[in-house]
Each structure stands twice: as structure tokens, then as C-alpha cells.
Structure 1
Amino acid sequence: TRKAYGGAYDVMGSKHLGADINLSWPTGQIAVMGAQGAVNILYRKEIKAAEAAGDDVVALRQQLITDYEDTLANPYIAAERGYIDTVISPSNTRMNVTRALRALRNKRESLPPKKHGNIPL
């Protein structure tokens, strides 16, 4: 993944919805939302107080964004929590994808029979 935020992360092959293999580069960002939006919500009181005090709001916001990306929106946190399998080097991407496809080549998914079909929409 490069950037996987919120609902988009879930619907695009997340472990939560049954994806078999999830890999990320070290620069991947996996979080509930992007750093800028999260900082504006989480730290709005601090930003407003800094603005009222006449402090450099742009520098404060940038520092908070950097802190958020370093502590919450990195792939290592997602790997610790089991959201991705491993963090790989970009130069090893082809090898890891090949290995994953080989591991899954004989996979057969058995799902229980459905009671009701989905109506055509």
C-alpha cells in the first residue's frame, strides 16, 4: 500500500475483509484518515490557542502532522496490529508478490451456501 485511509483501506483488500496477503513499503501510510485532516480534528483546540497567542500556527500544524505520520500513520504500527503481513523494501516487491502468488496458487475457498441471493440493483 502507499496510502490507505479509512473506508478505502477496508474495501481495497484489507485483512478485515479476508485478503490473504497484505504488503506495504516503508513509506506506506495506513490510518483512519490522512494526517492533515486528523491533526485539524484532534488538535483543533491547541491550534486555536496557538493562533490566539500569536504563535506560528503553520509550523505547529506541520509539526503535529509529522508527529502523526511518524507515530500513527506508518506501516510498522499496522504490521504490529496485524493489518498487514510485512513491510517490504520496494526493490523486493516483485519477489514478494511472486512468493505470495505461489503460496496461494492452489488455494480453494469454500464458502457456505447462500440462503438468499442479492437483488439486482
Structure 2
Amino acid sequence: MKPADEARVELTPAAADLLRRLREAHGPLMFHQSGGCCDGSSPMCYPEGEFRTGGSDVLLESLTVEGVAEPVGFWMSKSQYEVWSHTRLIVDVVAGRGGGFSLEAPEGVRFLIRSRIVGG
């Protein structure tokens, strides 16, 4: 079992830099990862509150990003969380287009999840 104070989600420096730029352009932000087909299993970045979360979603982390006034929530569907629950999620950025609805799409990059096993 993971320690209660261990973060579930972290950002690479490249992801944090992109979030700062997106925050400047779009205001407060959030992530959601649904586990659907195609890009649905990638983390999608939206203006805070634009993606409506509900009872089938879990807030994994409120990420603190240096230079961003408010935390960035990282939400995941419960069914997807069951698959990823034994891992620490690492949000990274790679070249290429991802989901058309995610804020980084026009930048020519996309957010990507890397992970590592946690607990024992």
C-alpha cells in the first residue's frame, strides 16, 4: 500500500512548462483521463470546469505547478483508475497531435502518461 502522503501524479519539467503557457492563455486548468478508445486513454487538458466530472470520476491529485496560481486537478474515470491504481502517473509531453479537444493540440504536442509501479 502506498503511503498517504505519496503523490499519485507528477509532472515532467516539459509538462509543467506547457501547463504554465496553457494557463496564461486559457485560465485555470484541469486534466481528465477517461480510458475510452483512441485518445480517450490519454490525459486531456481542459479549462477548469469545461469537462464535467461526476460520480464515475476520481480526483487523483490537485497538482501544484510553480508559476500557476491554482492547483490543476487530475481526474480519471473510476474504471481507468482500477487499471492504474498500482502506479504513479507521470504526465509528460511528446511531439505529435493528440486529442483534438485537449488544449495542447494546436501546439503540435500532446500530453502522455508514463508510469511506474508503487507500493508493495
TM range (shorter): under 0.3
TM-score by length of 1: 0.23
TM-score by length of 2: 0.24
Greater Rg by CA: 1
